[in-house]
Amino acid sequence: MSADLTRNQTLVMKTLSGAEAPLSAYTILDRLRDDGLRAPLQVYRALDKLTEMGLVHRLESLNAFVACAHPNCHQQELIAFAICETCGKVEEFSDEVVKDRLDGWTRAHSFRPAKTTIEIRGNCGGCVGKA
Amino acid sequence: MSADLTRNQTLVMKTLSGAEAPLSAYTILDRLRDDGLRAPLQVYRALDKLTEMGLVHRLESLNAFVACAHPNCHQQELIAFAICETCGKVEEFSDEVVKDRLDGWTRAHSFRPAKTTIEIRGNCGGCVGKA
DNA sequence: AAGGATATGTAATGTCATAACATTCAAGCC
DNA sequence: GGCTTGAATGTTATGACATTACATATCCTT
Ligand SMILES: [Zn+2]
Ligand SMILES: [Zn+2]
Ligand SMILES: [Zn+2]
Ligand SMILES: [Zn+2]
């Protein structure tokens, strides 16, 4: 399994796990002032490691981070995110057909993919109508 | 067709059209100093309009902008980007199957999508090996 | 000419992320 | 124990991306 987390990584992980919506690095920092964190870099370093371990995802269209909803389940597959712009809730899912189609395109174009981002922004079922 | 562009929109559009790779708003600003632009907002406002018109795309994973490769061709469809991290070249493409699969997921989950981002980062055929 | 909508100019500020350097900590070896 | 070494941490400063707020100008319609 994955190695134990360090102190700062544990603090950041707990903050993200307890959050209802994605958090920016600076929001995480604010919530951890009382635990001794003072500088952005302390949070960014923890986020980097947690992301490497697959415990946290970065949402590119939000410049924010979420705890993985299925830790240790989708180590290497393609993940898509549905992000509600009203309540902030994020759903993760994978789709083999989407993956195959994108893989097909990259192969056909001799493109070597390193990281793929799929983010759908909109409103979740509970928020449609309220927005 | 689309309305004529304003002065600032024209300047920004020309800069992006002539670029080999995505440009950040501040890079665009730097290239337009001699044309009288002084503040980021002048560029951001033009980019907003150009994006609305479909002439420019924002790359979320890069915080940068590119001229559309197929203006007036894909007004409303889902667009995917393959971005070379070595040479910066960006390829746009659409895939109906990917669109259908993502639409299927959102319908099944009562999610109302507003904007979908698909960005594949990696290395293009010409750059594989050099990186 | 008057009014309203759109576009522009400018300064200040807010938000996100990293560089550079010093210090501390834990583990393995002599 | 005392040493080395690599990882993690702490701190300051800076860089990069984006928006708020307000003033002014321009264009189009009446
Ligand atoms: Zn996940
Ligand atoms: Zn919602
Ligand atoms: Zn396009
Ligand atoms: Zn390339």
Give me the mean pLDDT over the B45-66 stretch: 97
| C-alpha span between A51 and A65 (Å, rounded) | 9
Q: Where in chain B is the domain with CATH 1.10.10.10?
A: 1-69
Give me the mean pLDDT over the B46-59 stretch: 96
Q: Which nucleotides of C are covered by protein (CB under 7 A)?
A: 7-12, 15-20
In this complex, the answer to whether residue A74 has its CB under 7 A from any atom of chain D, a nucleic strand, is no
Q: What is the pTM of this model?
A: 0.94
Task: Report pLDDT digits (tens) over A61-101.
Answer: 999 999 999 877 776 689 999 999 999 999 999 999 999 99
Nearest to B122 among A93, A97, A113 (CB): A113
In this complex, the answer to whether residue A120 has its CB under 7 A from any atom of chain C, a nucleic strand, is no
For B14-60, the three-class secondary structure string (H helix, E strand, C coil) is HHHHCCCCCECHHHHHHHCHHHCCCCHHHHHHHHHHHHHCCCEEEEC
CA of residue B61 to ligand 2 center, whole Å: 23
Q: Where in chain B is the domain with CATH 3.30.1490.190?
A: 77-131
**What residue type is A104 in one-letter code?**
G
State which fold the A1-69 domain adopts.
Arc Repressor Mutant, subunit A (1.10.10)
**B1 has pLDDT over 50:** no
Backbone angles phi, psi at A77, to 5 degrees: -80, 175
Q: Judge whether B111 and A80 are in contact, CB under 8 Å.
A: no
In this complex, the answer to whether residue A26 has its CB under 7 A from any atom of chain C, a nucleic strand, is yes
| C-alpha span between A119 and A97 (Å, rounded) | 16
- Alpha-carbon torsion, ordered A32, A33, A36, A37, to 10 deg: 70
Task: Report pLDDT digits (tens) over A18-72.
Answer: 999 999 999 999 999 999 999 999 999 999 999 999 999 999 999 999 999 987 7
Question: Among the CATH numbers 1.10.3720.10, 3.40.640.10, 3.30.1490.190, 3.90.1150.10, which is that of B77-131?
Answer: 3.30.1490.190
Task: Report pLDDT digits (tens) over B61-107.
Answer: 999 999 999 877 776 689 999 999 999 999 999 999 999 999 999 99
